[in-house]
Amino acid sequence: MTDAKLRDPETLAALRTVPVLATLDETSIQCLDGARDYWTDAGSLVVGFGERTDRFWILLEGSIQVAYPSEHGPDQIVYVMESGASFGEVPLLASVPAPANLRAATPCHLLELDEEHFWTLMNGCPGVRKAILGNMALRLAKVQQTTF
């Protein structure tokens, strides 16, 4: 892991492709300064079902499978997150364990914020907070539509 450099044009360009961040101004994007670059190989478990996680991630490159564990065979893949997805805010906000396994389907490059940085971001950067909460609300609505 290394500190991400938000002044780097490539990192800024990648962040501009993230739907939850696309409409933010430059000042709001700079609130992510201090996040860490995180790389993982295909097949690596990013978050395990039932784990308490203290991270918020933005998937800059690659794809991650969201799957429910199965006692009788392979995990049941319910969704694949592609580049631009963000995740981890629900366990942080609600203090709940991860509801599924998140496994890298391909090599991935993520931007990672630890819990302290996440809360600093949520408290000090209203534009980012609004974007994260709006994205979370859309995802929860999709989950409710598929389960009822």
Average pLDDT over residues 100-120: 92
Residue pair 78/67 in contact by the 8 Å Cβ criterion: yes
pTM: 0.80
User: And the tokens for 31?
Assistant: 């609130």
Q: Encode pLDDT of 27-76 as tens digits.
A: 777 777 778 889 999 999 999 999 988 899 989 999 999 999 888 888 88
Residues facing 114 on adjacent strands: 55
Residue pair 48/71 in contact by the 8 Å Cβ criterion: no
pLDDT score of 92 more than 80: yes
pLDDT score of 147 more than 60: no
Distance of CA 53 to the CA centre of its chain: 12
Give CA torsion, residues 129, 68, 74, 103, to 10 deg. Answer: 10
Domains and CATH numbers, the chain: 2-147 (2.60.120.10)
pLDDT score of 146 more than 70: no
